[in-house]
Chains A and B, each alone.
Chain A
Amino acid sequence: MKKSNIPESQFELQVPESLKTEEMTISMGPQHPSTHGVLQVILKTDGEIINSAKPQIGYLHRCFEKHAENITWHQVIPFTDRLDYIASMNNNLGYVIGIERMMNLEVNERAEHLRVVVSELNRIASHLIALGTYGLDIGAFTPFLYVFRDREKILDLFEEISGARLLYNYIWVGGVAYDAPEGWREKVLEFCDYFEPKIKEYNDILTYNKIFIERTANVGVIPAEVGISYGVSGPSLRGSGVNFDLRKDDPYSIYDRFDFNVVVGKGEMGTVGDTWDRYWVRVDEMVESVKIIRQALENLPEGDAKETVPRNIKVPAGEYYMRTETPRGELGFYIISDGSKMPNRVKVRSPAFCNLSVLQAIAPGVMIADLVAIIGSLDIVLGEVDR
C-alpha cells in the first residue's frame, strides 16, 4: 500500500451523544401585533414548543381604583368607561347598578330599557371586534374589515344617543344621561334587520372556513374544571360547556324579562372548550343579543328617562359587590362607602384579568403560532387587565 504523505488525522470523528439544545426565553410583546394591546408574555420554548408562558402585565396601569377614592361617585363613571374601552356601556352599567342597589334607588322603566338596548348593542360591537381581530391573528384579513364596517353602524347609533363614539359616560346613577332622540328606536330596529344576515356572511367567510377550523379546533382546550378553578368567565367559560351567564343566573337590571338562550360550546369542530368553541360562542351570542334588543325595543315605554336621576348622590355607608355580565365575563365592582360624597374603595374584579391567568395552565405543550390563537380566543382587553 502506498503510503500517502498526508498525515493521518489527528482528530477522531466525535459523535455527539445527542444534539445539544437549550431552552430559549422569548418575550412576546409588548409590541407584538397579536397581543391585543400592551401585553408581554415571557415564553420558555423548546424549539417551537412552549414549555411555559407567563403573562407580564401592568403596561397599561392607570390607577383606576386609587382615582376612584379621590373623586365623587358620579365622577367615577367616566373612569369606568376606560376599563374595558371596547364595551364601555357594560362597564358603566355594573358600577351604576351597584350604587343604585346601595341607595335602594328605583329606576325609571324607559331608562332601564334603554340601558339594556345600549348594553346589548355594545356587546355586539365588542364581539365583532373579538371576531375580526381573531381572524386577523389567524391570518384572515377580510373579515376584520367587514366587522369594523358593521361596528361603525353601532358606534353611529351610540353617537346619536350619547354624543360619544367610544367612551360614553351614558348610563348614570338613576337613569341615563340622555333620552333617546327622535327616530332612534327605528334606527336600531333597522340595524337589527341589517345585521342578522351579516352574521351568516361572517360564518361563510370565516367560521366554517376549513383553514380557520384547522387552526382553531382542538387547540388550547380549557377543560371546564380548569376554567372554573382559574375564575374564567364569560364566553371563554361558556366555550368550555359551562352554562354560566350572569344575565340568567344573577339577573340585574331587567334581564329576567327577556327570552334568550345561553350559548355554550359543544365541541362541534373538535373538543369542547377549544378556541373554535370560544369563538363560536361569541358569534352565536350576537344573535341572542339581537333578540334581546328587539324585545326591549318592542316594549320600550314612553316616559322621561332622566326622571329618577338624583341631583345629589348620597350613598349610605356599607359595602356591596355588584357583578354583571360584560362581553368578557363577570365584571365585579366591590364598592365600599363610608357615607361621604366619595367612594371609600372601589375594587374591580376584571374578567379579562382572570381569563388571561388561565394562559399559564393551557400554554405548555402548544406551538407559538397556536399561542397566538389562544390569546386571541380569550379576547382580553388590556385596559381591563391592568386597570
Chain B
Amino acid sequence: MRQYFKNIYEAIATILVGMGVTWRHLFTRAVTVQYPHVKRELPERSRMQLFVEMDDCIGCMACQRACPVDCIDIKTVRAGKEEDLGETSNGQKKRLHVVQFNIDMGKCCYCSDCVFPCPTGAIRMTPEYEFTTYDRSSLLFKFATYTPEQISELQERERKEKEAQAAARAAKLKAAEEAKKAAAKNDETKSE
C-alpha cells in the first residue's frame, strides 16, 4: 500500500521535474526557421549542386572516372592543329572540344569524389540546393555549350581525320620507332 502511494508520488514529482524543463524552454528563443521565408546561410563547403565552369574544363575525364555511380557523361572531340581553344584559368592549354558534359543529378550521391581529381578546378560543388523539379529528366544537367550542328560538324571532321590518320599510321609508327632508337642512342652518348 505504501509502495503504491510512493509510486504515485514519484511519478507526479518526476513529471513535474520534466514539466519544469519544458516550462523553461517556453522562454528560450525558437531554434526553428520558417524555411521558405527565412533561409539559412550555408557554409561555402556545402555539397549541394554540382557546377561545371566549361571555360576551365579540359576534357580530361578524371571526374568521370572518379564517380562511383557513373552519373557524369563526357564526350570530347580533338581540336585541330591550328585551332586555339584558349587556356583555362590556371594556365592549362585546352586541347579538346568538350561537346557533351552531362551530369545526372538524379543519380548523383553528392559524394564530391569528382571534385578532387579535377586538374583545373572546373567542376565544383555549390551551396545551391533548390533545384527540385517536377520531372526527373530535368535533373539531367547539360553543361556543354555546343549546338547540335557544331557537334555533328566536329564529329564529322574527327571521323575524316581519323581515316586520314589510319592511312598515315603505319608510316608514323615506323618514324616513331626510329626516333626512339635515335633518342636511345642520343641518351647513350649523353650518359657517356
Contact = CB atoms under 8 A, between A and B. Distances in A.
Interface of A: 71, 74-79, 81, 142, 146, 149, 152, 159-164, 167, 169, 177-178, 181, 201, 204-206, 208-211, 214
A75 B68 contact: yes
B66 A75 contact: yes
B45 A178 contact: yes
Contact of A159 (B13, B22, B46, B111): B46
B18 interface: yes
A80 to B, nearest CB: 11
Of A160, A163, A209, chain B has the most CB atoms within 10 Å of the CB of A163
A183 to B, nearest CB: 11
A206 B31 CA distance: 21
B132 interface: no
Given A162-B45, A177-B116, 4 more contacts: A74-B113, A77-B111, A163-B43, A214-B7
A78 B22 contact: no
Contact of A78 (B7, B17, B109): B109
Given A205-B22, A209-B18, A159 B43 contact: yes
Of B14, B25, B42, B66, chain A has the most CB atoms within 10 Å of the CB of B14
A55 B66 CA distance: 38
Of B10, B17, B68, chain A has the most CB atoms within 10 Å of the CB of B68
Contact of B68 (A78, A142, A164, A211): A78
Report the 3 A-B pairs with minimum CB-CB distance, sorted nearest first: A78-B111, A75-B68, A163-B47
B42 A159 contact: yes
B45 A209 contact: no
Contacts of A201: 21
B68 A79 contact: yes
B110 A167 contact: yes
Of A75, A149, A206, chain B has the most CB atoms within 10 Å of the CB of A75
Interface in B1-54: 7, 10-11, 13-15, 17-18, 20-22, 25, 31, 42-43, 45-47
A95 to B, nearest CB: 14
A169 B112 contact: yes
B11 A210 contact: yes
Given A78-B111, A211-B15, A163 B46 contact: yes
A122 to B, nearest CB: 17
Contact of B21 (A74, A164, A204): A204
A160 B45 CA distance: 6
